Amino acid sequence: MEKMPITPDGYKKLQDEHSSLIKVDRPKIVAAIEEARAHGDLKENAEYHAAKEKQGFIEGRIQRLNYVIAHSEIIDPTKQTDSNVVRFGATVTYLNLDSDEETTWKIVGLEEADINERKISLSSPIAKALIGKEEGDEVTLKVPKGDVDVEISQIQYI
């Protein structure tokens, strides 16, 4: 099985979520199921069915995290030797050549990608277009709205 790249921060977040699911969420849901069982007829017990559904989600997420943690390769962006080229862990700022709008993304592993935190997966179309490029390079990004021409203005490994 191929290792999945992940930043140290992303790995810690996954470990913290895993720990919380096992130590906090799992015991809570077991208690909720027991309480719902005590209410009698399980066929028409909405609380019981909701708790069992949530238990299934929690157990599924724990299994997923077990797999991801076991198959992760932690790559520290701050230890990159060639910081002039876009690679995994880079924080890339580029200028849209049509609108003069600047955008910044951090290229991370699939499991830690979060659009709200401005983190995109290494396998995303934008990241794939940026990988291997340098500051000053012009790149055409294929996005849902169509092709966008950008110029890389800054590459950081922070």
52-71 pLDDT tens trace: 999 999 999 999 999 999 99
Residue ranges with strand state E in the chain: 4-6, 72-74, 91-96, 102-108, 119-121, 138-143, 146-156
Is residue 113 pLDDT above 70, yes or no?
yes
Structural domain that includes position 121? 77-156
Residues 61 and 88 in one domain: no
Q: CA of 89: how far to CAs of 59, 80, 83, in Å? A: 30, 9, 10
Query: What's the CA gap between 15 and 141, in Å, rounded?
Result: 33
Q: CA of 2: how far to CAs of 21, 43, 131, in Å? A: 26, 44, 19
The identity of residue 13, as a single letter, is K
Rounded percentage of the chain residues whose pLDDT exceeds 90: 78
Residues 23 and 46 in one domain: yes
Residues 85 and 152 in one domain: yes
- For the chain, the domain total comes to 2
Residues 104 and 117 in one domain: yes
Q: Per the structure block, which two tokens stand in for 8?
A: 């140290």
Last residue of a domain, one of 18, 41, 74: 74
Residues 108 and 55 in one domain: no
Last residue of a domain, one of 46, 74, 102: 74
pLDDT band at 1 (very low <50, low <70, confident <90, very high): low
Residues 67 and 105 in one domain: no
Question: pLDDT value at position 154?
Answer: 96
pLDDT band at 47 (very low <50, low <70, confident <90, very high): confident
Query: Shortest CA distance to 93 belongs to which of 135, 156, 157, 154?
Result: 154
What average pLDDT does the structure give for the chain? 93
Question: pLDDT value at position 81?
Answer: 78
Residues 65 and 82 in one domain: no
pLDDT band at 145 (very low <50, low <70, confident <90, very high): confident
Question: pLDDT value at position 2?
Answer: 83
Residues 97 and 60 in one domain: no
**What is the arithmetic mean of pLDDT over 93-112?**
95
Which residues, at least 6 apart from 30, have a Cβ–Cβ distance to it below 8 Å?
A: 55
- If one compares 75 and 143, the residue with the highest pLDDT of the two is 75
Last residue of a domain, one of 74, 102, 120: 74
Question: pLDDT value at position 46?
Answer: 85
Residues in the chain, total: 158
Q: Per the structure block, which two tokens stand in for 124?
A: 């995303």
Longest dimension (CA), the chain: 68
| CATH number reported for the structural domain that contains residue 118 in this entry | 3.10.50.30
